[in-house]
Structure 1
């Protein structure tokens, strides 16, 4: 019977660590990136084989952000430490992306740009969150804040907090955004009513509510483009 080679016995060009050193992280496949994070194999499987088994659960790598530690550990070869490494690496990537976006003063001057921006932040969250983009007069991003976690009804109660943040940062306008963990971005009656109430309050405080983005699993909706704002 032929003995299975360990990663240390693979050609240098095929090993995830060495491949990253020589060609950069973008040259690695999804499985190789996960293998680099979990670091080692287990139970006769290499880290790449374990990573491939994990990624076979869903055809969208974004499920790793949604998966809980317990769900990750259901895969043979992934224990507590490996699951924590995966979740920590995803959160680190999210924070780096958010920091870079804020530093570069990203322009959110169209519904399309706003949708792309918030999809990156909210698409794979396991629970509903309400975020707020604070913009200057040129519709450049000042920063993004998470206002609340929960359904849209709880968000309505925090409406004044939304504008408190805008006034504190001298924002000329704001873009509201929340996700639908169900995957369907169709606005509910509560979504529409709450958005209109927040827009009215914004007029009173001289803060322009530019749009409200609802992020789903595969698509998103701009309430401005849909005619609700």
Structure 2
């Protein structure tokens, strides 16, 4: 009866994304497993703009397996490609750093960040690197604030891990479509839990392919309370 009185709303039919920023995408062509052409980048940005997004952070993967993705290379690539953005949408460059054996070298080279030296980081989904907590601590000592990408997707993390990381002042970035079950039941469950606890600071699509945005957005059905919580998170996006 409760669900009939208060049905979930499809995100397509709300103003959830109007005027906001997407803080996590793989739309810099040809540098990782995201889009591979300017045409695909344009198609993805058009879909995001149609949903109401006004600013998009391009966050290419930076990891030991992609040795060319150093700061200067990505900045040059961004300078070449940002001209292809549709009119009325702003692009910014950051990066998604894997906390792997090459991360300290990247840190020494200088990191691509959000505002206020906030840096998006990730680990393997299945198991953390042995010293990932030390790497996060070293980041903070260097004056950076770690932003953990899609914490709901890490199979090894427990609720205690989430509380421990938040207690240290690290920030969490939700993959918006985790709430739609795009990555499976477990990430959906933990995304809902972390939303309920108020742990998320930012939200992004983690978009890799242009056709995925509209399809995944159509799957996103949210309660009124969840919509209100997401709007608060997306206000943080706007301030970046």
TM-score of the pair, normalised by structure 2: 0.28
Structure with bigger gyration radius: 1
Higher relative contact order (CA 8 A, sep 6+): 2
